[in-house]
Amino acid sequence: MQKRKLGKSGLEVSALGLGCMGMSFSYGPPKDKKEMISLIRTAVERGITFFDTAEVYGPFTNEELVGEALAPLRDRVVIATKFGFDTSVDPRAMKGSGPVLNSRPEHIREVAEASLRRLRTEVIDLFYQHRVDREVPIEDVAGAVKELIREGKVKHFGLSEAGTQTIRRAHAVQPVAAVQNEYSLWFRRPEEGLLPTLEELGIGLVPYSPLGKGFLTGKIGENATFDSTDFRSTLPRFMPEALKANQALVDLLGRIAAQKNATPAQIALAWLLAQKPWIVPIPGTTKLERLDENIGALAVELTAADLREIEEAASIIKVEGARYPEKLEQLTGR
């Protein structure tokens, strides 16, 4: 398995991580626990060392799952989790009036202690602020994590979906190892300011939804429907008219895949990996065959000519539909 370092932090992980959210949360009913534990452990056997979870996934059940799965393999893996939502106020975190944020320093400490118990570990390798809380100065957030690092309860500090000025302010207090952000061929906003900032500061990028929440695999047609427990049922980009319009992007990936004897998903991941050496995507899956397919992306070599071809073709495709409902989009880029 190829390894990558997340910026200048010294945090080395497998070139692909595994996003674990969908095993417990957001993508339909929770999956069978025994099967998911087996899948996570198989991922380690395949060389994956980087696993992503959060207290809000469930809430809490995903951390418990990841903790149980990785406890016997703890010395071989890097576990990332997140704080920043107030699950006591809005247990489902993504319904009603929208999620309630809480990044007060005392709450960050409470979340860290609870996450350590659920993850069955003595230290959190990478602790992200899940969303920026405008009620709490980012310097106070960074200072709280800095204290946890000093105490040996956390190793590295991360931010998720933060704006560039917030990243700079946080980084000045406690070096940020990684920023997690949605990034893929169908969501390229990070290129507008985030990537240059991360490169300047020596911070790694961890793209979530690198396969467009499944769309870039080519397995979701324009007539796809989603269960009410699948949060894609609420996303503008997954409405029928958007799915139909955005099929052009999947067709592009399919053309390149045919040339490379690969799949559209593998081309989408290979494209991301080719952007910067400090980018580590975390595709999620609940199926072993998809895990193996994703890992196969590491063997796909995209030449400069291939990348130019993708760029030129993608530049004339207009992606339709917002990625989030307005209430959730307002929590990003702060």
Is the pLDDT at 95 greater than 60? The verdict is: no
Summarised one tens digit per residue, pLDDT across range 29-54 is 999 999 999 999 999 999 999 999 99
CATH number, domain containing residue 52: 3.20.20.100
318 domain-assigned: no
214 φ, ψ (degrees, to nearest 5): 100, -20
Residues 6+ apart with CB under 8 A from 226: 232, 233, 238
334 domain-assigned: no
Chain-wide mean pLDDT for the chain?
A: 96
232 domain-assigned: no
176 domain-assigned: yes
Summarised one tens digit per residue, pLDDT across range 7-30 is 999 999 999 999 999 999 999 999
User: Considering only CA atoms, which of 24, 19, 23, 5 is closest in space to residue 52?
Assistant: 19
320 domain-assigned: no
Residue 275: predicted pLDDT: 98
More confident position, 91 or 46: 46
322 domain-assigned: no
Q: Return the structure tokens found at 161.
A: 């979906």
User: Considering only CA atoms, which of 19, 322, 30 is closest in space to residue 160?
Assistant: 19
Which sequence positions are flagged as catalytic?
Answer: 57
Is the pLDDT at 188 greater than 60? The verdict is: yes
Residue labelled with tokens 């405008």: 134
pTM flag (> 0.95) = yes
235 domain-assigned: no
Q: Exposed, middle or buried, 261 (CB in 10 Å: 0-12/13-18/19+)?
A: exposed
Is the pLDDT at 97 greater than 70? The verdict is: no
Is the pLDDT at 91 greater than 50? The verdict is: no
Is the pLDDT at 94 greater than 50? The verdict is: no
Report how many domains make up the chain. 1
Q: What is the mean pLDDT of residues 322-329?
A: 94
Task: Give the range of the structural domain holding residue 159, as residue numbers without chain letter.
Answer: 3-211+276-300
Q: Please give the Cα distance from 176 to 268 (Å, whole number).
A: 27
- At 88, the pLDDT band (50, 70, 90 cuts) reads confident
Residue 98: predicted pLDDT: 73
Summarised one tens digit per residue, pLDDT across range 59-75 is 999 999 999 999 999 99
236 domain-assigned: no
